[in-house]
A and B are shown apart, each in its own frame.
Chain A
């Protein structure tokens, strides 16, 4: 999908969230000089195109008590990656599952998934269950827990277009 200037303005206006008012698209339209119906139609198109993958409440896991945030990395034989990627992605409590390149000799892992839970022990139990259930004992994996988030915010696309290095401090954190 090709984005025009109007789309970029629209994305900039909604990427930080919809205004929490009765008619949010009318409020955005007012800001951009567009009709409510035009805003709504374009947002729906952005969603149908897949650029917006979902519209809804974006939760903050850590604040909600899901502090045991584990990235599990696997060294999967290339021939098996599609099969294993799909079965991990279908597991409940797996919130991402991506293939990424190996960087040998430093980094042998090519499949990444995120598993969130309230405590470290329950996440480790869940991983053991997944390994046993799918017979993944021969596939090397590592569990990287995250004790701290230094920065955490949604990707911001529109504002980056005009970004100059000196304006960075404005966006230093959220």
Chain B
């Protein structure tokens, strides 16, 4: 199991944010201007300089508060994917999570409080590779995989509201 000590994904300390940071986090999760100079256009909309916008976004990224500025791809359009779960004996959870993490096709992997306590998303160029990865995970862990592919999405992703 790899060290998680510095992983911002598991820290939940309250974060102090400047007004500009809040604006960039809240108002620009979608609709980045599709122009040659998107950061200058964001700057014009927020009343600060382009340099200020770029510096602030870089700082948010360096602090691990944003993963990137760029595209979010629709599930299932490019390639195939599924949500999968394992019911792992509690004392083997770290070890099994480490095995699952080793697969490049796994892009999310969470512990959850349930008999099915390890949940992960498998994404690959086609369905046969998704099936192969699930079979390899079953054989590497000795545990049966619950395979729950997306059938329909009711949600239109508008980003994440920070007032929740």
- The answer to whether A163 and B104 have CB atoms under 8 Å apart is yes
Chain B residues positioned under 8 Å from A145 (CB to CB) = 112-113
Docked-complex contact B160 and A20, CB < 8 angstroms: no
A1-42 to B contact mask, C-beta < 8 Å, 1/0? 101000000010011111011111110000000001100100
Residues of B near A17 (CB, < 8 A) are: 61, 67-70
Residues of B within 8 A of A18 (CB): 38, 68-70
Contact size range, B: 35 or more
What chain B residues lie within 8 Å of A113 (beta carbons)? 155
What's the minimum C-beta distance from A26 to chain B, rounded to whole angstroms?
7
**Could you tell me the distance between the alpha carbons of A14 and B24 in the complex, rounded to whole angstroms?**
20
User: Known contacts being A65-B15, A98-B150, is A160 close to B125, with CB within 8 Å?
Assistant: yes
Grouping DSSP codes into helix (H, G, I), strand (E, B) and loop, the A interface class, with mixed when no group exceeds half, is mixed
Number of interface residues of A (CB under 8 A): 94
Residues of A within 8 A of B158 (CB): 54
Q: Do A151 and B106 form a contact, CB below 8 Å, given A17-B68, A54-B72, A60-B67?
A: yes
Provided the pairs A63-B9, A65-B14, A160-B125 are in contact, do residues A57 and B72 lie with their beta carbons within 8 angstroms?
Answer: no
* One of B36, B67, B125, B162 near A36 (C-beta < 8 A): B36
Give per-residue flags for A134-174: 1 if the beta carbon is below 8 A from chain B beta carbons, else 0.
00000000101111111111111101110100011111111
Residue of A nearest to B124 (CB): A160
In contact, B15 and A116 (Cβ under 8 angstroms): no
Q: Are A58 and B34 in contact (CB under 8 A)?
A: no
Across the A-B interface, give the 8 residue pairs with the lowest CB-CB distance, nearest first.
A17-B68, A67-B12, A85-B154, A171-B104, A93-B164, A54-B30, A151-B109, A89-B154
